[in-house]
Chain A
Amino acid sequence: NAGVTQTPKFQVLKTGQSMTLQCAQDMNHEYMSWYRQDPGMGLRLIHYSVGAGITDQGEVPNGYNVSRSTTEDFPLRLLSAAPSQTSVYFCASSPGLGNQPQHFGDGTRLSIL
């Protein structure tokens, strides 16, 4: 059982480039979410999804897009990368929205030059 898988693990981009961070889970979880982690700020919610076809904004959504065409996958797209988006990105899943523990991937470390 792989759990939550994130790819790539590392990425360097130039300002203005676009890219997609991939997230897949094999636990048939309905709820998936994306966080960014910056020093001293903990985890901040970017976008989340309560099921296939349904997404919503979190605390820091600007500059990011998501879609949820299947239960398993929840990609995060950076439309035009900016240095302020340099961060570590974590994808998480849980059986449902609510008081369910979340399972995290190992993160994608993204640097924008």
Chain B
Amino acid sequence: GQQLNQSPQSMFIQEGEDVSMNCTSSSIFNTWLWYKQDPGEGPVLLIALYKAGELTSNGRLTAQFGITRKDSFLNISASIPSDVGIYFCAGLKTSYDKVIFGPGTSLSVIP
């Protein structure tokens, strides 16, 4: 069954606001990945994290690999309408394991 939890499940924000979401697990993960899925399309990788404590940015997006290795966080600054979509976290427990996906956080941005 599903081993990753994401919160919030959904969020509605005003354009220009900052967004924070997280992904948690009861198990330790070796790698954390964050994907975005636009309506009608497949997920696209945003950020990959490979080391505990690692903080990585991709434009207005910043993700962190939690110190405990059981969580990860994604922040979006100054949201814009094209940020709308579903954000998935994914993790691997070992370097040669299968990727496990969280259930996703649905983001809506109100202009």
Contact = CB atoms under 8 A, between A and B. Distances in A.
Interface of A: 4, 33, 35, 40-45, 48, 58-59, 90, 92, 97-99, 101-107
B66 interface: no
Interface size class of B (residues with CB under 8 A): 20 to 34
Nearest to A101: B45
Interface in B67-111: 88, 92, 95-104
Contact of B95 (A35, A98, A104): A98
A48 B88 contact: no
Contacts of A101: 33, 45, 48
B42 A41 contact: no
Interface in B29-46: 30-31, 33, 40-45
A42 B98 contact: no
Which 10 pairs, one residue from A and one from B, show the smallest C-beta to C-beta distance? A104-B42, A99-B31, A42-B103, A43-B101, A101-B45, A42-B101, A98-B96, A98-B95, A104-B43, A106-B42
